[in-house]
Amino acid sequence: MAAITFNAADRSRQPLLTQADSFAQARVTAVSATQSTAPFQPLDPDIVSESIPAFFIGRNKVGFWVARESRGRIGGLFLFKSSAVDFAKATSEPSHCALIFPSETFELDIDNHGNPVIAQLARWTDAVRRRFAQPSAR
């Protein structure tokens, strides 16, 4: 298993590709605390081959753990980092997978195949944040 950390702070903004044709085109959206988007660079085929699935493991803006396959085929939300890692390993069986831990937060942009309770809790938390972020009309 390989672990790679990317730092997307210096990178220019590029559009997100939700379905990539190859590892060289795989991207994921990173969302910073200010809601700006900074996508990651494509995975280098010299580092990770197409036969090894790669998963991005990180936190979303609410603080839950996100596991997303680099090609956007599967992903999920989790309460614990270990659960996200276990999901990536179980999904890639019988082979191993590469784990990529981005330094910035990112959102799950595909259907949740992780913990359904965490997905609902994330929606509620986001709704509460939006509610209290609006100025009161008194």
Q: What is the helix (H) or strand (E) element at residue 12, kind and residue range?
A: none
Tokens matching residue 110: 């595909």
Question: What pLDDT, on a 0 to 100 scale, did the predictor assign at position 28?
Answer: 34
Residue whose C-alpha is closest to residue 77's, from 37, 39, 121, 34: 121
> Tokens 């730092």 label which residue?
7
Tokens matching residue 124: 């509620």
SS3 120: helix
Residue whose C-alpha is closest to residue 104's, from 3, 26, 29: 29
- Give the start-to-end residue ranges of the domains of the chain: 3-133
Type of residue numbered 62: V
Question: Do residues 120 and 128 make contact, with C-beta atoms less than 8 angstroms apart?
Answer: no
82-125 residue pLDDT tens: 999 999 999 998 888 999 999 899 999 999 999 999 989 988 98
* Cis peptide bond N-terminal to 94, omega within 30: yes
pTM beyond cutoff 0.75: no
C-alpha distance across the termini of the chain, in Å: 56
16-30 residue pLDDT tens: 433 333 333 333 333
- Confidence band of 136 (pLDDT split at 50, 70, 90): low
